[in-house]
């Protein structure tokens, strides 16, 4: 994945709070992620809400991430460029689209949904309409979850979280407010719809003006990342057995299928996972 060298980056879409808060102690791993996601979907938070200041914003991004060439050279600038591209895509396709800020943090972060640590992975908080990510997650994606990694694998993660933002604007995210789990559950359908919307963005990414080229190898990296964080893969890795009845995000096969549905389709919106009998 290469960015257009002269593309101007908008760092105002990213709040850089790396190093501004306390480091995480311990961590909930995938269980923490499941608990947090369930809590977010049901209007709660990942922990007690703290009013403590998070510290000053890191101003380095605005001075170092100016163009697509910077995105080709620096990891954090690359994510800024991805955020810009994803939001440019949805501004044209989602009526009354409202931009959502992505927050970079290290260790832990206070959000309108509560306090969360980096152990839960990237997440979207519908209360403040922000995406939160500790960029160290990308190392976990390779080392813990076995993904090949690569720039587009990282971009897929961001595009998935912005899919949740679009779902929130469309009133779909509320459908995940259910205690039901399993391959066909509302929560899984919400996650797969976000995967599909990540695929939609991938199909139109070059047209946003930020990305110069996406290759077949890039898309393969994205599909690989989607599979690596499938419920079945994670369960097999963490507990040695697969329990479909407890799935909250979908299997590797489901996640790949819906990403590719969004990527390959020419329909204006091929991602209505609640309109099909089986996902």
Q: What is the pLDDT of residues 71-85, one digit of tens each?
A: 999 999 999 999 999
Q: What is the pLDDT of residues 235-251, one digit of tens each?
A: 999 999 999 999 999 99
Q: How many CB atoms lie within 10 A of CB 66?
A: 16
Domain boundaries, the chain: 2-264
Per-residue model confidence (pLDDT) at position 55: 37
Please choose, from the candidates 215, 198, 219, the residue with its C-alpha nearest in 3D space to the C-alpha of residue 89.
198
**9, 80 Cβ separation under 8 angstroms:** yes
Q: State how far the Cα of 139 lies from the Cα of 154, in Å rounded to an integer.
A: 10
Per-residue model confidence (pLDDT) at position 197: 98
Q: State how far the Cα of 204 lies from the Cα of 277, in Å rounded to an integer.
A: 28
Q: What is the pLDDT of residues 136-171, one digit of tens each?
A: 999 999 998 999 999 999 999 999 999 999 999 999
Q: Distances from the Cα of 217 to the Cαs of 68, 148, 153, 222, in angstroms?
A: 20, 11, 10, 9
């Amino acid at each position: 994945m290469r960015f257009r060298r002269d593309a101007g980056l908008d760092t105002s879409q990213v709040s850089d709070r790396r190093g501004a808060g306390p480091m995480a102690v311990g961590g909930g791993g995938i269980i923490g992620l499941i608990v947090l996601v369930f809590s977010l979907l049901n209007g709660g938070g990942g922990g007690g809400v703290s009013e403590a200041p998070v510290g000053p914003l890191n101003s380095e991004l605005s001075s170092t991430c100016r163009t697509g060439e910077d995105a080709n050279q620096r990891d954090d600038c690359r994510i800024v460029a991805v955020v810009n591209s994803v939001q440019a895509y949805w501004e044209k396709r989602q009526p009354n689209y409202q931009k959502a800020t992505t927050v970079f943090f290290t260790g832990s972060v206070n959000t309108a949904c509560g306090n969360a640590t980096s152990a839960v992975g990237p997440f979207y908080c519908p209360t403040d309409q922000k995406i939160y990510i500790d960029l160290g997650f990308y190392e976990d994606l390779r080392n813990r979850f076995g993904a090949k990694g690569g720039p587009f694998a990282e971009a897929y993660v961001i595009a998935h979280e912005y899919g949740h933002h679009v779902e929130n604007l469309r009133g779909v995210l509320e459908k995940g407010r259910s205690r039901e789990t399993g391959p066909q559950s509302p929560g899984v359908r919400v996650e797969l719809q976000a995967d599909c919307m990540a695929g939609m963005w991938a199909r139109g990414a070059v047209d946003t003006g930020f990305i110069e080229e996406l290759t077949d190898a890039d898309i393969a990296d994205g599909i690989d990342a989607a599979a690596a964080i499938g419920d079945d893969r994670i369960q097999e890795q963490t507990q040695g057995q697969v329990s479909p009845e407890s799935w909250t995000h979908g299997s590797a096969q489901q996640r790949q299928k819906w990403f590719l549905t969004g990527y390959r389709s020419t329909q204006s919106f091929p991602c209505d996972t609640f309109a099909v009998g089986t996902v």
